[in-house]
Amino acid sequence: MSDMLHRILLVDDEPSIVNALARELRQGVGEGLWPALKVETFTSPDAALARACECKFSLFISDYRMPGMNGVQLLAALREQQPDAIRVILSGQTDYDGLMDAINRAQITRFLAKPWNTRELLFAVHQFLKLYEERVETRALADLQRLAQGSISPQEAERRRLERLEPGLTQVDWSPDGAYVLDPGTTRA
């Protein structure tokens, strides 16, 4: 595994669950499973979705059953924002229809059961982070090939590289009068 700083976003409506998961993942750093890790925890799917608009994550782990927005809806929205990130459902209940929806709609990588086994969780996260690195590397190599073939411009290749580093960085919001919008909540009519 590379020395890449991985960010993991954990979402569960029960604070004790996200805190326990974060503790377990920090244990993996101590055991040398990954060199560095930034774990962010949320009890609100809406807040987690807003945070994913601000920075790039390697891995999303979400509870399935939450009030307001379930884990499949959240992970499907996160897939639109950050398609390279690994998406995982964590649930204490096995719901066949919900699991199929998660696989088909959110394209989850795996379903983890509550309560989890610490060793299995750490091994799975290690594998997820390696898979994420492979996805990012594959996309970068494909863009280099497209650039060499002339199917994308050097500017487009650079834009894609920057987007991989910081999702949303190259997206510009414009107001109706043609001005650049610094804060999307203050768009003028």
> Which CATH number do you get for residue 91?
3.40.50.2300
Dist. CA 126–CA 13, nearest whole Å: 24
pLDDT, position 16: 95
Domain that holds residue 119: 6-136
Q: Within a domain: residue 52?
A: yes
Q: Reading across the β-sheet that carries 86-91, which strands appear in turn?
A: 37-42, 6-11, 59-63, 86-91, 110-113
Cβ pair 12, 43 in contact under 8 A: yes
| 0.75 exceeded by pTM | yes
Structure tokens belonging to residue 137 = 């590397």
- Taking the C-alpha atoms of residue 15 and residue 81, their distance in angstroms, rounded to an integer, is 25
166 domain residue, yes or no: no
- Does 161 reside within a domain? no
Domain for residue 174, yes or no? no
Residue 82: inside a domain, yes or no? yes
In 3D space, the residue among 37, 67, 68, 42 whose CA is nearest the CA of residue 54 turns out to be: 42
Query: What average pLDDT does the chain have?
Result: 84
Q: Give me the percent of the chain exceeding a pLDDT of 90.
A: 41
Q: What is the band of 186 on the pLDDT scale with cuts at 50, 70, 90?
A: very low
DSSP 68: S
Provide the token pair at 149: 């073939």
Fill in the DSSP letter of residue 47.
H
More confident residue, 52 or 157: 52
pLDDT at residue 188 above 50?
no
107 located within any domain: yes
Q: Does 120 fall in a domain?
A: yes
- For residue 108, tell me if it sits in a domain: yes
